A = this chain, B = another copy of it.
Amino acid sequence: MTTQTLDGVTVNTQANVYFDGKCVSHGIALADGTKKSVGVILPSTLTFNTGAPEIMECVAGSCEYKLDGTDNWVKSTPGEKFSIPGNSKFDIRVTESYHYICHFA
């Protein structure tokens, strides 16, 4: 069961562009002020650093991710989530564009 829409949100009209456009997201805020983002990662292998803990929810496409301190690439497909601790990092590799919601945990 994927989350196809988020309702009653405020969306930032300016995108966040990372890694020369391999990752593009738009920040949103829920009515209660909770911040999230919706984005897409195009085919690539990238390393992201976290500040706050994050939960990545796949809404279309897929990725493989590897958390810091592990050697396992794990696949994530639509409807699946994975969690990244704060002040950490993770590798992600994408062969078909990975569409996601990033929740700040």
A contact residues vs B (CB 8 Å cutoff): 2-15, 17, 20-22, 24, 26, 28, 38-40, 42, 59-60, 97, 99-101
Contact A40 to B15, CB < 8 A, known contacts A21-B21, A24-B24, A26-B26? yes
Copies in the complex: 2
Interface core residue of A4, A5, A17, A38 (most chain B CB under 10 Å): A5
- Please give me the residue from chain B that is nearest to A61 by CB atom: B14
Contact status A28-B4, CB under 8 Å: no
Chain B residues near A9 (CB, 8 Å)?
8-11
Contact assessment for B6 and A10 in the assembled complex, using a CB-CB cutoff below 8 Å: yes
- Say whether B13 contacts A4, CB under 8 Å: yes
